[in-house]
Amino acid sequence: MKYERRDKYTKPLTPADILDLALQKEESSYKFYEDMLKATSSPILKKLLTELKNAELGHIEKIKHKIK
């Protein structure tokens, strides 16, 4: 699997830019773990991916709270 950069920034300039970029990265990670959950049948891997996905969700909520 190849990583494809999807954010629009090459260099964050302001705190708002940094938070926006961080949110994009966390949402991308969340989607990655969600997609991998659908692709595996291993119970051990499903458990790990669920934990990682939930951690990303916590990060997303914290960043959104900072943006408000």
* Span 2-44, pLDDT tens digits: 556 666 656 657 888 889 889 999 999 999 999 999 999 999 9
CA distance 10 to 3: 16
CA distance 47 to 61: 21
* Model-wide pTM > 0.75: yes
Q: Which residue has the tokens 């709270």?
A: 65
Domain boundaries along the sequence of the chain: 15-67
Residue type for position 39: A
The pLDDT score that the predictor gives to residue 16 is 87
Query: Closest by alpha carbon to 62, among 32, 18, 23?
Result: 23
Degrees (nearest 5) of the Cα angle 1, 53, 17? 80
